[in-house]
A and B are shown apart, each in its own frame.
Chain A
Amino acid sequence: SAVISQKPSRDICQRGTSLTIQCQVDSQVTMMFWYRQQPGQSLTLIATANQGSEATYESGFVIDKFPISRPNLTFSTLTVSNMSPEDSSIYLCSVEKGINTEAFFGQGTRLTVV
């Protein structure tokens, strides 16, 4: 299994500012993922974060808006830059521990932009 800690759990931010979300895993993992869940919606993958290389972004998401760091095998950050009210969502970190294994999710960061 994997225990994932996300910080902060929630925040209220002013538009135009940036917020960095941290994801800490209790064991080393190869693949880490960041998802967004807009109000009342399902989860959408933002990007895949691999240690030692740039993150791979899904269609509709760009590095300038959602820069990601992956400095080691247990930690990653997602920054939501120049926020607008449309960025109000839950942001979730996920990991997998290997091929043919399940994915584990953090509890999410609930972001409200005012």
Chain B
Amino acid sequence: DAKTTQPNSMESNEEEPVHLPCNHSTISGTDYIHWYRQLPSQGPEYVIHGLTSNVNNRMASLAIAEDRKSSTLILHRATLRDAAVYYCIPSYNAGGTSYGKLTFGQGTILTVHP
């Protein structure tokens, strides 16, 4: 599995954008990049995923470097509800290997200040 490096913690103010970086320099060409987050006392929830192109959804945007060795999760306007641990997870998917088998790193603890 590709190894990831994320900051242990980050802080933001409410209503401001947040850029959460992730280094995954050992990623292979077929690894998708997934982001999940875990709110306090809850199970992880899916945020976004992508392969090569930048991706947008209602929750966030994912910017993937051209060499795919790093990516950045962008929360456009942080809210207090976005305070969580954010996990960047490269996930191998070929020949039927499933997305559900995820290898979680330590993630980034995001604190949002009012």
Q: Which residues of A contact B (CB under 8 A)?
A: 4, 31-33, 42-45, 48, 92, 94-96, 99-108
Contact = CB atoms under 8 A, between A and B. Distances in A.
B43 A48 contact: no
A103 B46 CA distance: 7
Given A33-B102, A107-B43, 5 more contacts: A43-B102, A48-B100, A96-B99, A101-B99, A103-B36
Contacts of A32: 100
Nearest to B36: A103
Contacts of A48: 100-101
Interface residues of B, number: 21
A42 B99 contact: no
Given A99-B93, A105-B43, A31 B104 contact: no
Contact of B107 (A42, A92, A102): A42
23 contacts: A4-B43, A31-B98, A31-B100, A32-B100, A33-B100, A33-B101, A33-B102, A42-B87, A42-B105, A42-B107, A43-B44, A43-B104, A44-B104, A45-B102, A96-B100, A99-B96, A99-B98, A99-B99, A102-B49, A103-B102, A104-B46, A105-B43, A107-B43
Nearest to B102: A103
Contacts, number: 57
> Chain A binding site: helix, strand, loop or mixed by DSSP?
strand
Contacts of B16: none
Interface of B: 34, 36, 42-46, 49, 87, 93, 96, 98-107
Contacts of A104: 46
A43 B103 CA distance: 8
Nearest to B106: A42
Contacts of B43: 4, 92, 94, 105-108
Contacts of B46: 102-104
Contact of B99 (A45, A92, A102, A107): A102
Contacts of A4: 43
Given A42-B87, A92-B43, A108-B43, A103 B99 contact: yes
A104 B106 CA distance: 19
